[in-house]
Structure 1
Amino acid sequence: MSRASRILGWLILAAITVATIAPIGYRPVSGMPVSIERAGAFALLAFLFALGYPRHRWRVLVLVVAAAGALEAFQLLEATRHGRVADFLVKVFGCGCGTAASLAADMVWPRLRTRGEA
């Protein structure tokens, strides 16, 4: 489970990066409010990385929050995009929820953890 979570986490990070720094016309739209899209994407990212690197959950949280900040800053380089503190805070909330969900999943289903990685 750990290896699959790591691979999926890196793929999700790549997808979020492309969707975040590409021109606004290329941004995928789900029909949900953008704040839910942002929080959900970063919650999933943090959840997968925290499951994939269970001994480093706090580092994962810090790095995913840093990635959210960097991606918001990179939006300032694209003329059709805009990085905002409010958007960053929504992403940080998602990161916290995803990390907390990984802790809860680990307590409820300890078998998700690969042997020897806890």
Structure 2
Amino acid sequence: MTDSLDHLRRIATILGWCALLVILFSTLSPLDLRPHIPEMGADAERFLAYLATGSMLAFAYPRQRWFVLGGVVLLALGLEWAQSWEATRHGRPHDVVVKILGTLAGGCLATSLDYLARRLRRVA
């Protein structure tokens, strides 16, 4: 079980950093270059992007989970401010709140997965 959990953490590391790169590109690129999911609002996209990043990185680095989540929250704040550098973008407090909620939900998901893995390990 430990080997498979370590393997999952390695995969989560790669996916988490890839998700972070997508966030960086999406946030700092001009609005017309920003990837989006058709039929989904911008708030849902923001929430899901930060949920994915927060959950993957928090699962990948369980001993530094709260440090990682704090870093993602600080990144969200910084990137929202950095959007003022791009003429077609704007940073709004509402957007930061959605991103922080996504990050925290991701942290809860990662914590739940670790709890479930510990419970399954005890049963096996």
TM-score, normalised to structure 1, is 0.90
1:94 aligns with 2:102: yes
Counterpart for residue 45 of structure 2: 37
Q: Determine which structure has the larger helix proportion and give its number.
A: 2
The 1:111–1:6 alpha-carbon spacing in structure 2 relative to 1, beyond 3 Å, is farther
Cα RMSD after superposing both structures? 1.7
Is the aligned partner of 1:67 residue 2:46?
Answer: no
- Shift of residue 111 of structure 1? 8.6
Deviations 1:81-102 (A, max 9, x none): 0001110010000000000000
- Structure with the bigger RCO (C-alpha within 8 Å, sep 6+) is 1
Q: List alignment gaps of at least 5 residues for structure 1.
A: 113-118
Work out whether 1:2 is the aligned partner of 2:2. Answer: no
Letter matched to residue 94 of structure 2: A
**TM-score normalised by L of structure 2:** 0.86
Unaligned ranges ≥5, structure 2: 1-7
Alignment coverage as a number of residue pairs = 113
Identity of aligned residues (%): 39
The structure 2 residue matched to 1:26, chosen from 33, 37, 41, is 33
